[in-house]
Amino acid sequence: MVRRYLVALDQHKPRRGRQVSAESLEDRLAQVAERVSEADPLQRVHLIQERRNLELRLANRGTESEDDLPALEKEFVAVAAEYGERKGIDYATWREAGVPADVLQRAGIHWSRRG
């Protein structure tokens, strides 16, 4: 629950710069695939990694819809305090990871708790 909520938060935060479309990622993936067979061994390693990165970006597009965020948030609120206590995660760490203060408050995690 905690991981899924944090991933969803990360995917929904505003991104800087130009957004890359799925079509652009697919075009780049095709270009990389063409170049792999002709590349020298070192370039091939870099191209294979780029291909894997592009495939991952494509696979992760839309894995959690914005409609899922409230449900994930509710599940996070239910388990976050106990999870944080067990793992030694304090308020400041949750905030730095992007969890909104009101969500932490509802989870019973307060700034006065020291890790």
Handedness of CA 48, 50, 13, 111 (dihedral sign): positive
Domain that holds residue 26: 22-60
What is the predicted pLDDT for the residue at 47?
95
pLDDT at 111: 85
Portion of the chain with pLDDT greater than 70, in percent? 86
* Cα 26 to Cα 23: distance, rounded to the nearest angstrom: 5
Q: How many folded domains does the chain comprise?
A: 2
Q: What Rg, from alpha-carbon coordinates, does the chain have?
A: 19
Whether the per-residue pLDDT at 49 is higher than 60: the answer is yes
pLDDT at 60 over 80: no
Residue 112 lies in a domain: no
pTM for the structure as a whole:
0.54
Nearest to 84 by CA among 15, 2, 13: 2
Q: Residue 17 falls within a domain, yes or no?
A: no
Judged by DSSP in three states, 16 sits in: coil
Indicate whether 43 and 29 sit together in one domain: yes
The mean pLDDT of 41-62, rounded to a whole number, is: 89
Whether residue 113 lies inside any domain: the answer is no
Does the pLDDT value for residue 16 go beyond 70?
Answer: no
3-state SS assignment for residue 13 = coil
Phi and psi at residue 82, to the nearest 5°: -65, -40
Q: SS3 of 39, please?
A: coil
Q: Is the pLDDT of residue 112 over 80?
A: no
114 is a domain residue: no
Together in a domain, 77 and 103: yes
Q: Is 89 left (phi over 0), alpha (psi -120 to 50) or beta?
A: beta
Domain identity same for 8 and 29:
no
Q: What is the pLDDT of residue 56?
A: 85
Q: What is the mean pLDDT of the chain?
A: 86
pLDDT tens, position by position, 75-102: 999 999 999 999 999 999 999 999 999 9
Distance between CA atoms of residues 110 and 24, nearest Å: 43
